[in-house]
Structure 1
C-alpha cells in the first residue's frame, strides 16, 4: 500500500531535514515535525528501504537511528532541492494569490515574498499576474493585527481571549478558547478551537473576531477535540448545537442535501450495509425532532438522550391521534 499523500510529503522532506541537523535527537525531531516519535520511527524504517533504482545496498538511503539520534549517511540525492516545473509553479502562484484573498489565512507580506521568489525562479516566460493588495485584510499591505494574533496563538499553542460577533444571534460575546487549527473554506478563514464557555469545539470566522488577546497559558483542548476536525461547511456560527446521528445505508443521500458531516470516510467503510455515523448541525431541537421523524427510524440520534426522548414522545403523540 502506498503512503498517504500527507505522509508521502513528509517522507520527501525528512532526508534534507536530517541532513541539515546531523545527530538530532529523535524525540526533538518528532516535536519539530508535529508527529509522535513512534510515527517518526515508522517513517525512518520506510525510508531505510528506499533509494535509487537497482535497490542494492549502496543504492538505498543510509539512516542510523537505533540509539535515539538520527544520522544520515547516504541521501540518494534527496538532499538536493527539487526544481519546479512550469505547471507546478503556476499552480503554486494561483494558490498563493487565492490565499491572499482569504482574510487572515496567511501572513500577507510572507505570501507576497513567496510569490515574488517563485516568479523570479520561473523566469519571464511565465505571465505575471498582479498580486492583490487589499483582499479581506484591513490596511492594504499590512496584516490585520487581530488575524496575526490568532495565527500566532495557533502556532504557539497558547490560549486566546476573543471578542466575537455571532451573526445568527446578532450579539457579541467574550470567550476564552483553546486554539486547535485553522481552516479555509469558500473565501473565509476559520479558527477551530475549544470554547471554554460552550464546553465544546467551535468554529470562529476571522472577520467576525473583533479583538483577540493571546494569554500567558497553554492551549489545552481535550484529546477527543483534536481527533475529528470540524467542518467549516457545517457551521460558521459557533453557538449552533450539533448531534451525532446514525444513518442507514438507504438514506445516505441526505449527505448531499443536508448539513451532515460523516465521522468516517464513506468510501473506506468495510461493511457497506452497516449504518454510518455522522454529525448534524441544527438550529433547534424541534426542527431536529421533525427531521428525524421524517425518516421513520432510518436516521437515529445516538449522542443525545433528550433528543431521542423527544422523537419518541412526538411519535407516540402522533400515533395517539389515530386511536
Structure 2
C-alpha cells in the first residue's frame, strides 16, 4: 500500500508543472501521456485541488480549472518545476540506459545517449567535466573511457528502420549452426532479447517460418521498398519464439519461485501452474541440459526451489555441497 501511495504522491507533485507546460490539454490526452486512466487522472486532480502551502487557506491551495475537455493551473503554490532525481535514482537510470544502449537494436542510441547526457549534466556537470578532462589528458585511455560513443553498426540501424517503416529486409546472415553465410528476404516482426543478445524475429520467406536472427551475425541488411507481409499467425503475440518452443522431447523442470523472485517469469519461458498462499508461484520450464539448468537455478539462490525432476535436484545438491566444501577449505587456510 505504501508503495502505491508513494507512486501517486510523486505523480501528483509532477502534475502541476506538467499542466503548466501543457495548458488546456484534455484529460484523455494527459492520461495517455501520464500512463493512467482518465478516471484516475480526474481523481488525482480532485485530490490535488485540496493540496497547498501551510495555512491551507483559499489563497494557499493549488488552484485548477479542469474538466475532461481542458485542464489549466491557475495557482501553482510554488510547484513550478518537476522534481529532481536523487543521486541514487539518477545512477540507477543511467545504468539502465547504458545497458539498453549496449544491446544492439533495442533503442535508438542517439536518443538514449542524449537522455544520458542530460541526466549526467543534471546530476553533476562539474564532476562529468573533470572526468572528461582527466581522460582526454591520458593518450592511452580508450574511447569509452573518454566518453566517446562508437557509432551504431549500419546493419542494426537498417533493421530498426525497416521495423519502424514496416518494410521487408534483405539480409546477409551467418548461421553458426550450419557454419554458412546465406542471403534471404524477411518480413520483420519485432526485436527480442534472449540471454543478453538482441535478435530480429522475422518471417523468413525462404524457410516459410518464423526465425530469429542474432544481430551480431547479420553481415549486411538492406531495407526494401516493399511492405513487410508476415502472416497473421506469425504476428500474434502468443506466437512462440523459435528458441523457446515448448518441445515435449526436452526435460521439464517443476519449480517453486519465491514471492520476491516472481519477476523471473517475465524473463524466462515458464508456464505458471499455481499461486501459493505465501505468494510463491509453482511453474514449469523446459531445458536442454542439466548443467545449464542447474547453473541458472543456483544463480537465484533461495529464490527458486527445484521440485522435479530428481536428476536436477541431485545435480543442485551436488553443486551446492561442492561450493560449501570449497568455502570451508578457504576458511581453514
Give the TM bin, normalised by the shorter chain: 0.5 to 0.7
Q: Secondary structure of the equivalent of 2:246?
A: strand
Aligned partners of 2:277 and 2:232: how far apart in 1? 30
Equivalent residues of 2:210, 2:234 under 8 A apart = no
Shift in alpha-carbon separation, 1:85–1:272, aligned structure 2, 3 A: closer
Aligned partners of 1:11 and 1:222: how far apart in 2? 42
Aligned partners of 2:77 and 2:45: how far apart in 1? 11
Taking the TM superposition and a 5 Å limit, the aligned residue runs for 1:105-144 are 105-121=106-122, 122-125=124-127, 128=131, 133=143, 141-144=150-153
Equivalent residues of 1:240, 1:281 under 8 A apart = no
Which residue among 142, 153, 177 is the counterpart of 2:187? Answer: 177
Aligned partners of 1:12 and 1:165: how far apart in 2? 52
Equivalent residues of 1:183, 1:189 under 8 A apart = yes
Which residue in 2 is equivalent to 1:44?
41
What's the offset of the Cα at 1:42? 4.1
For residues 60-93 of structure 1, give each alpha carbon's deviation from its aligned partner in whole angstroms, at most 9, with x where no partner exists. Answer: 7847453xx3424366766613323333333344
Shift in alpha-carbon separation, 1:3–1:111, aligned structure 2, 3 A: same
Instruction: Provide the TM-score with structure 1 as the length reference.
Output: 0.53
Shift in alpha-carbon separation, 1:28–1:87, aligned structure 2, 3 A: closer
Taking the TM superposition and a 5 Å limit, the aligned residue runs for 1:1-323 are 1=1, 3=4, 19-24=20-25, 33=33, 40-51=37-48, 52=51, 59=61, 62=64, 64-66=66-68, 69-73=69-73, 80-121=81-122, 122-125=124-127, 128=131, 133=143, 141-154=150-163, 156=164, 158-163=166-171, 164-171=173-180, 172=182, 174-181=184-191, 183=193, 186=196, 188-191=197-200, 193=201, 195=203, 197=205, 203-209=212-218, 210-213=220-223, 217=227, 227=237, 239-240=242-243, 242-243=245-246, 251-252=254-255, 261-264=269-272, 269=275, 280=286
Aligned partners of 2:288 and 2:234: how far apart in 1? 21
What's the offset of the Cα at 1:149? 2.6
- Give the unaligned 5+ runs of structure 2: 136-140, 290-307, 311-333
Task: Indicate the larger mover: 113-122 or 20-29.
Answer: 20-29
What's the offset of the Cα at 1:46? 4.5
Q: Secondary structure of the equivalent of 1:128?
A: helix
What's the offset of the Cα at 1:133? 4.0
What's the offset of the Cα at 1:242? 0.5
Instruction: Provide the TM-score with structure 2 as the length reference.
Output: 0.51
Equivalent residues of 1:158, 1:217 under 8 A apart = yes
What's the offset of the Cα at 1:260? 5.7
What's the offset of the Cα at 1:195? 2.7
For residues 97-139 of structure 1, give each alpha carbon's deviation from its aligned partner in whole angstroms, at most 9, with x where no partner exists. Answer: 444544344444444444444343313246737697479xxx9
Greater C-alpha radius of gyration: 2
Aligned partners of 1:159 and 1:107: how far apart in 2? 18
Shift in alpha-carbon separation, 1:115–1:271, aligned structure 2, 3 A: closer
What's the offset of the Cα at 1:278? 5.3
- Give the unaligned 5+ runs of structure 1: 231-237, 284-293, 297-323
Aligned partners of 2:9 and 2:183: how far apart in 1? 42
What's the offset of the Cα at 1:241? 6.1
Which residue in 1 is equivalent to 2:295?
none
For residues 26-68 of structure 1, give each alpha carbon's deviation from its aligned partner in whole angstroms, at most 9, with x where no partner exists. Answer: 66667x7497xxx6324424533543479999857847453xx
| Structure with greater proportional helix content | 2
